[in-house]
Amino acid sequence: MSEAALREQICLLAKSLFDRRLTHGSTGNISARTEDGGLLVSPTGTSFGRLDPARLSRFDASGRLISGDKPTKEMPLHSAFYDTRSTAGAVVHLHSCHSVAMSMLPDVDEDNFLPPLTPYALMKLGKVKLLPFFLPGDPAMGEAVRGLAGKRTAVMLANHGPVVAGKDVEAACNAVEELEETAKLAMLLRGTQARALTAEQIQAVVTEFNVEWDV
């Protein structure tokens, strides 16, 4: 994909997320690999609903900012995914309501944040790691992701929001939406006797779709 087309795609998908209230105000950030190994990144303090393709932060392959506005303060978080997952072509971070609410509950599984309610969350995300609270922009968030050694495609920042890496921008956006919708289902079903996927059903999905699960 040409850089011009990638710029347009980033802004189009970001606006779609914003318009459907998956993030709000000037929250969230998004990045994608360019054909030359550089990055296009949403600037700091910008709204997903009003990103300008011409003003995206542009990094070269060595990680040097070469054009555009000042990038998001969460660059260490994005860089950690690119550096530890060779398949990462895009990273999306949202402040989506249900996943953030779920991250505050005392009894969620830190190693496997999302309950296995549907096959699609497993297929698109694998196991989601719940990370502790960090101040926004804290480089320690990136170090926490690096500590996972590339074994997770998605993390949930407690009291903050989900971060998902994908092979491209569309895949990353689809996956982070799946994370939020699964969290919404979990919150709606909380306190009920809902039937989650069984261990046998989980294994069938993992095997059929080559899911990164036993990590």
Q: Where in the sequence numbering do the catalytic residues fall?
A: 74, 120
CB 21 within 8 A of CB 64: no
Residues 6+ apart with CB under 8 A from 115: 109, 182, 186, 196
Task: Provide the β-strand partners of residue 90.
Answer: 32, 166
Q: Which residues have CB under 8 Å from 36's CB, separation 6+?
A: 60, 61
Element (H, E) at 58: strand 57-59
List the one residue out of 161, 171, 155 whose CA is nearest residue 102.
Answer: 161
